[in-house]
Amino acid sequence: MNHSFRTLSLVASLSAAGLLAACGGGGGGSSPPPGTLGVSMTDAPACGYDAVNVTVRAVRVHQSSSAGENDGGWATITLPVPKKINLLNLTNGVLEELGQTSLAAGHYTQLRLVLDPNNGNSMANSVILTTTPTNTTEISLDTPSAVQSGIKLTNQFEVLSNQRVDLVLDFDACKSIVTKGSGAYALKPVITVIPTVMNGIDGYVNTSLLSSNVMVSAQQNGVVVRSTVPDTAGKFTLARLAPGNYDVVITADGRATAVIGTVPVASTSSRVDVSTSAAPIVLQTSATRNIGGTVLLSPSSTTEVGYVAAQQTFAAGPKVTVKYRGADISNGTYSLASLPTAAPQYGQYSATLPITLTTQTTTTPGTGKYLLEASALGYVTQTNASVDLTPADQSGIDFTLVK
């Protein structure tokens, strides 16, 4: 997710002959034998929802990244029965395997994920929210026709004769669910194709944090690459990361932020521990405050969403995103809640555990202060260099993004 701001998998079966015909394969025995395509899904946490449900009906595959939905040459893979999936069950590297299919050998550059529409009282796509301590409510997600005809994913992959290729689709539920005014919600899918082989960063947080909306993310220069929530034992896995160095950021309501810097992921199969069950990560308590305002797009857009990230930079370390949210698509309002005012903790990665976390009083823009970054696809990013939460909540922090 290249905005600062985890998939559903799907695959079904079609006959090899039908796929070959759909992709232009020929007869006479001259075409090479088909390969096999498998598709799976995983997800990132969803920013406070109890469930995020999407119903997958089909996946379409094409060799041209610019092919329109009505162009020829598509191979359509239809699930036998549309599958309703709660994305929040797919954290910590869990995959939803939806099947596999024969596919004509060749170079492919586009996938389209096709969802079932909501129909009357049937909520194919929905969110579930806690409304009182003992009650939840299910709210239908507005799914535009473009989503129902297929969410376009541009990704190149090669299908070789008699070989298998697997794709994992990372459905970022937090960025994909946006408010639409008056208690309504819309689905604006943010999906990336990520490595299939299981690698990543593992660790534990203290179980006392589990009731406080704890979230763990792997970031690079403040960009959230992967995020997850710990399981009931406090264990977390930031899975399927491209090789490189990552900053692990841990946040929770009523707690100071903690960061472990420069965690190395050496290969597509390496696993790195940053804490253990015997010495889990503990976050210090902190007062919290809120930031609110608007993100307006000029010119306005019916497809793009503005996002706001609250960031801090360590004097001897990285820039990190503490919280991010999408703006309401009807009026542009946003709210970043429960931002800690206490100084964050930081520790440089070491293979020798536990890693010592020390309080950082020399962050930019300063303790209890945040740099706000507003962005939208196709628009120029804007920043507010210093929003001070030490005296009170801050409202009216507004942005207008231009092309």
d(CA 88, CA 232): 14
Task: State the chain's mean pLDDT as an integer.
Answer: 87
- Find how far residue 124's CA is from the centre of its chain: 20
Amino acid, single-letter form, for residue 306: G
pLDDT of residue 132: 76
Amino acid, single-letter form, for residue 171: F
pLDDT of residue 288: 97
Q: Among 108-117, 286-295, 324-333, where is mean pLDDT lowest?
A: 108-117
d(CA 97, CA 106): 23
* The CA-based dihedral angle spanning residues 223, 167, 239, 55, taken in that order and rounded to the nearest 10 degrees: 80
pLDDT one-digit tens code per residue, 43-72: 877 677 888 999 998 888 899 988 888 898
357: pLDDT strictly greater than 50: yes
Contact 166, 42 (CB under 8 A): no
pLDDT of residue 14: 32
HEC sequence for 339-383: EECCCCEEEECCCCCCCCCEECCCEECCCCEEEEEEECCCCCCEE
The b-or-e profile of 265-283 (16+ CB within 10 A means b, else e) is: beeeeeebebbeeeebbeb
Query: Phi first, then psi: what are they for 16, rounded to 5°?
Result: -60, -35
pLDDT of residue 387: 97
pLDDT band with cut points at 50, 70 and 90 for residue 370: very high
pLDDT of residue 228: 92
148: pLDDT strictly greater than 90: no
333: pLDDT strictly greater than 90: yes
Residue 124 CB contacts under 8 Å (≥ 6 apart), including other chains: 53, 54, 55, 82, 84, 115, 116, 117, 118, 143
Query: Phi first, then psi: what are they for 393, rounded to 5°?
Result: -55, 155
The b-or-e profile of 303-323 (16+ CB within 10 A means b, else e) is: eebbbbbbbbebeebbbbbbb
Q: Among 25-29, 55-59, 154-158, 238-242, where is mean pLDDT lowest?
A: 25-29
* The CA-based dihedral angle spanning residues 175, 180, 183, 184, taken in that order and rounded to the nearest 10 degrees: -90
d(CA 233, CA 150): 38
Residue in 34, 5, 42, 39 with CA at minimum distance from that of residue 18: 34
Give the residue with greater pLDDT, 48 vs 87: 87
d(CA 288, CA 393): 9
* DSSP letter assigned to residue 103: E
pLDDT one-digit tens code per residue, 111-139: 888 898 888 777 899 999 887 778 889 99
302: pLDDT strictly greater than 90: no
pLDDT of residue 8: 39
pLDDT of residue 144: 75
pLDDT band with cut points at 50, 70 and 90 for residue 154: confident
pLDDT band with cut points at 50, 70 and 90 for residue 235: very high
Contact 223, 180 (CB under 8 A): no
Residue 225 CB contacts under 8 Å (≥ 6 apart), including other chains: 1, 217, 218, 219, 241, 246
First to last CA, the chain: 21
Residue in 195, 185, 170 with CA at minimum distance from that of residue 267: 195
pLDDT one-digit tens code per residue, 239-290: 999 999 999 999 999 999 999 999 999 999 999 999 999 999 999 999 999 9
pLDDT of residue 46: 66
Report the pLDDT averaged over residues 336-347. Answer: 96
* DSSP letter assigned to residue 105: S
Token pair for 349? 């990665």
pLDDT of residue 135: 84
d(CA 106, CA 127): 38
pLDDT of residue 4: 40
Q: Among 241-255, 315-329, 336-350, where is mean pLDDT lowest?
A: 315-329
362: pLDDT strictly greater than 50: yes
pTM metric for this prediction = 0.85
327: pLDDT strictly greater than 60: yes
pLDDT of residue 60: 87
pLDDT of residue 45: 72
pLDDT band with cut points at 50, 70 and 90 for residue 203: very high
Residue in 171, 148, 169 with CA at minimum distance from that of residue 157: 169
Token pair for 18? 């039908």
* DSSP letter assigned to residue 283: P
17: pLDDT strictly greater than 60: no
Amino acid, single-letter form, for residue 80: P
Using a 10 angstrom Cβ sphere, with 0-12 exposed, 13-18 middle and 19 or more buried, the burial of residue 375 is: buried
pLDDT band with cut points at 50, 70 and 90 for residue 102: confident
pLDDT band with cut points at 50, 70 and 90 for residue 29: low
